[in-house]
């Protein structure tokens, strides 16, 4: 039996991480949660996820800084970004760098499910 896709959730808000992980699992995916971009980058044991959902506004390293660090390291996988403080400049920057989508918080569960399904389907083998 094939393993379900792994979705990394990177958000400094514990409640958001918990609710997103619950949603992701209810959709049939495995979830890995990280309290920061730094925690995600430090996890060298698990390998890359099939998709990542990340907040933009986080201490230490923002979601768009995380995206830039991953791309610079040659790590490419679908990325979905969410923020309670959307700006046109940030949206344009992450989308131009290859993000799958940029959602405003609070994001609708159906929208998250839709974008996850698209991202996992498009993931290169």
Per run of 10 residues, the mean pLDDT along the chain (length 125 residues) is: 90 96 97 97 93 96 96 95 94 95 92 94 66
Report d(CA 36, CA 34) in Å as an integer: 6
Query: For position 99, what pLDDT does the model report?
Result: 95
Query: For position 123, what pLDDT does the model report?
Result: 62
DSSP 76: -
Query: For position 122, what pLDDT does the model report?
Result: 75
Report d(CA 34, CA 13) in Å as an integer: 10
Report d(CA 59, CA 77) in Å as an integer: 23
Q: Which residues have C-beta within 8 Å of that of residue 96, sequence separation ≥ 6?
A: none
Structure tokens at 10: 């990177």
Picking from 33, 95, 37, the residue whose alpha carbon sits closest to that of residue 65 is 37
13: enclosing H helix or E strand: none
DSSP 75: -
The correct answer on CATH 3.40.50.2300 for the domain covering 7-122 is yes
Query: For position 2, what pLDDT does the model report?
Result: 77
Query: For position 121, what pLDDT does the model report?
Result: 87
Query: For position 1, what pLDDT does the model report?
Result: 60
Q: Can you give the pTM of this predicted structure?
A: 0.94
97-to-11, 40, 70, 71, 125 alpha-carbon distances in Å: 20, 19, 11, 8, 20
């Amino acid at each position: 039996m094939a393993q379900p896709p792994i979705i990394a959730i990177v958000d400094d808000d514990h409640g958001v991480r918990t609710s997103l992980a619950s949603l992701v699992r209810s959709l049939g995916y495995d979830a890995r949660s990280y309290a920061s971009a730094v925690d995600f980058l430090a996890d060298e044991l698990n390998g890359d996820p099939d998709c990542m959902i990340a907040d933009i506004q986080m201490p230490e390293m923002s979601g768009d800084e995380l995206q830039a660090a991953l791309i610079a390291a040659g790590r490419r996988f679908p990325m979905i970004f969410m923020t309670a403080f959307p700006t046109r400049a940030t949206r344009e920057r992450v989308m131009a760098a290859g993000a799958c989508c940029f959602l405003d918080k609070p994001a609708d569960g159906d929208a998250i499910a839709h974008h996850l399904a698209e991202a996992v389907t498009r993931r290169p083998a």
